């Protein structure tokens, strides 16, 4: 019989489990500290837990991280990690060192069901949601891989899948990652959740009081263009999406990130930029322009550099903070929108 994974359980759930096994809640807190703070992967290593408690626990539970099947280094210093999950499915994550930071881009689903026209992951369709254990496991496994190179400092939910479509696992994983006392202890300001624009999910996330950063994949400033690129715009159009963004609670220094993939002759004109600036008026916003990353069979092209810079210029002139994000790992198929693994190899 397969044992159930301790990774991904909230510290409070570990406390409950300890009680179920006839021990005190304190034993659950020790377990949380071992798994999340000391990165233990072996119950045997938890020497301050009574032997009989460990033995009872081991009958039904274990600590399992997703296997790292492959690590592909890019010329730019980033690394793509391909994880093999317990059911042989694959997802990927990307480690991106930059300026003293190490950012981990995580996956939340195998594939994705939203079918954005420019995204390779979208061509896979949705296979299944990841569990909280598999989401947290990507972070623990990446930190273990880094070893004495350091530790992941920033986490972005921008890998395969739509985080807000896997809501319960996402929120459990975020709680484990941000719990400063018994969890892994990342400050929420170092974590960013990116969404295709699921309005109900944005509202719900706002009510969790997690204080993580919100990134919205906008990609167009008119419904007409956005609908062509992103089927979700038919359920929640720009007006509904921007209303949800305005409701999302921000701390005083926080801003909402807007991702805008630049597609030649589709959404890259000066008029598009002016429309975008108008759409964002009054919103504490930061725009990330992502020059389109190509994939075989894609129907889009990356605009020439001067056109990208002109677009940025219009936004900057309008007072909107805007950066051009040159994706990492383009040479290894790890850049934004290039993640796709055969579901079962
Ligand atoms: N599903 C979520 C999380 C994935 S984030 C979301 O869509 O927000 C991945 C980011 O890369 C999104 O902003 C996505 O729109 C962008 N992207 C997808 N395909 C791309 C491509 N081919 N080139 C550049 N960016 C792309
Ligand atoms: Fe899914 Fe995001 Fe890709 Fe759209 S851009 S298909 S929502 S992963």
Q: For the chain, list the domains and their CATH numbers.
A: 4-62 (1.10.150.530), 67-332 (3.20.20.70)
What is the pLDDT averaged over residues 145-163? 96
Question: Does the C-beta of 116 come closer than 6 Å to ligand 2?
Answer: yes
Average pLDDT, the chain: 95
In this structure, what is the dihedral angle of CA atoms 92, 101, 148, 77, given to the nearest 10 degrees? 60
Tell whether the model's pLDDT for residue 341 goes beyond 90. Answer: no
User: In Å, what is the CA distance from 179 to each residue of 11, 60, 175?
Assistant: 8, 25, 6
User: What letter does residue 124 receive in the DSSP assignment?
Assistant: G
pLDDT at 339: 78
The residues near 130 (Cβ < 8 Å, ≥ 6 apart) are 85, 91, 107, 108, 109, 110, 161, 166, 169
What is the pLDDT averaged over residues 319-336? 84
Gap from CA of 30 to ligand 2 centroid (Å): 39
Question: Does the C-beta of 114 come closer than 6 Å to ligand 2?
Answer: yes
pLDDT at 1: 61
pLDDT at 83: 97
Count other C-beta atoms under 10 Å from residue 199's C-beta: 20
Q: Which atom of ligand 1 is nearest to the CA of 156?
A: 5
Nearest residue by C-alpha to atom 19 in ligand 1: 337
Closest CA to 81 of 343, 341, 344: 341
Among the bound ligands, name the one nearest to the CA of residue 115. 2
CA distance 264 to 259: 16
pLDDT at 287: 98
What is the pLDDT averaged over residues 266-279? 98
What is the pLDDT averaged over residues 195-222? 97
User: Band of the pLDDT at 337, cuts 50, 70, 90?
Assistant: confident
CA distance 339 to 94: 10
pLDDT at 2: 79
Question: Does the C-beta of 216 come closer than 6 Å to ligand 1?
Answer: no
Q: What is the pLDDT of residues 207-220, one digit of tens each?
A: 998 999 999 999 99
pTM of the model: 0.96
How far apart are the two ends of the chain, measured CA to CA in Å? 25
What is the pLDDT averaged over residues 82-104? 95
- Kindly state the percentage of the chain with pLDDT values over 90: 90
CA distance 36 to 264: 45
Mutate to test the pocket of ligand 2, among 113, 116, 161, 199 (most ligand atoms within 8 A of CB): 116
User: Band of the pLDDT at 330, cuts 50, 70, 90?
Assistant: confident
Tell whether the model's pLDDT for residue 289 goes beyond 50. Answer: yes
pLDDT at 345: 47
What is the pLDDT averaged over residues 24-46? 96
User: Band of the pLDDT at 176, cuts 50, 70, 90?
Assistant: very high
Tell whether the model's pLDDT for residue 26 goes beyond 60. Answer: yes
pLDDT at 334: 75
pLDDT at 344: 55
**CA quadruple 221, 224, 227, 228: dihedral positive or negative?**
negative
Nearest residue by C-alpha to atom 8 in ligand 2: 161
User: Band of the pLDDT at 333, cuts 50, 70, 90?
Assistant: confident
Is pLDDT larger for residue 234 or for residue 335?
A: 234
CA distance 70 to 212: 30
What is the pLDDT averaged over residues 79-91? 96
Closest CA to 35 of 58, 6, 4, 67: 6
Tell whether the model's pLDDT for residue 170 goes beyond 90. Answer: yes
Mutate to test the pocket of ligand 2, among 115, 236, 260, 327 (most ligand atoms within 8 A of CB): 115
């Amino acid at each position: 019989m397969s044992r159930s994974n301790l990774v991904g359980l909230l510290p409070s759930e570990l406390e409950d489990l300890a009680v179920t096994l006839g021990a005190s809640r304190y034993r659950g807190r020790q377990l949380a500290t071992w798994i999340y703070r000391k990165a233990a992967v072996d119950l045997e290593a938890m020497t301050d837990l009574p032997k009989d408690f460990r033995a009872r626990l081991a009958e039904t539970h274990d600590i399992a991280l997703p296997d790292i099947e492959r690590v592909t280094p890019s010329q730019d210093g980033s690394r793509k990690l391909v994880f093999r999950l317990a059911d042989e499915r694959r997802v990927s994550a990307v480690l991106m060192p930059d300026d003293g930071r190490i950012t981990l881009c995580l996956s939340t689903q195998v594939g994705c069901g939203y079918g954005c026209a420019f995204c390779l992951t979208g061509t896979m369709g949705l296979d299944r949601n990841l569990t909280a254990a598999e989401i947290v496991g990507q972070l623990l496994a990446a930190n273990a891989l880094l070893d004495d190179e350091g530790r992941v400092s920033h986490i972005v939910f921008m890998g395969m899948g739509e985080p807000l479509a896997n809501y319960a696992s996402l929120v459990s994983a975020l709680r484990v990652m941000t719990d400063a006392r018994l969890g892994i202890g990342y400050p929420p300001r170092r974590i960013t959740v990116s969404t295709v624009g699921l309005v109900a999910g944005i509202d719900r996330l706002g009510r969790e009081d997690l204080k993580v950063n919100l990134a919205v994949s906008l990609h167009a400033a008119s419904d007409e263009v956005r609908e062509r690129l992103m089927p979700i715009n038919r359920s929640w159009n720009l007006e509904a999406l921007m209303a949800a963004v305005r409701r999302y609670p921000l701390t005083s220094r926080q801003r909402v990130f807007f991702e805008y993939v630049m597609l030649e002759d589709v959404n890259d004109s000066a008029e598009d930029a002016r429309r975008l600036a108008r759409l964002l008026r009054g919103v504490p916003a930061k725009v990330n322009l992502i020059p389109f990353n190509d994939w075989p069979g894609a129907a889009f092209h990356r605009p020439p550099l001067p056109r990208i810079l002109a677009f940025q210029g219009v936004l900057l002139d309008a007072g909107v903070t805007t950066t051009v994000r040159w994706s990492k790992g383009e040479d290894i198929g790890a850049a934004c929108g290039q993640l796709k693994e055969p579901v079962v190899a």
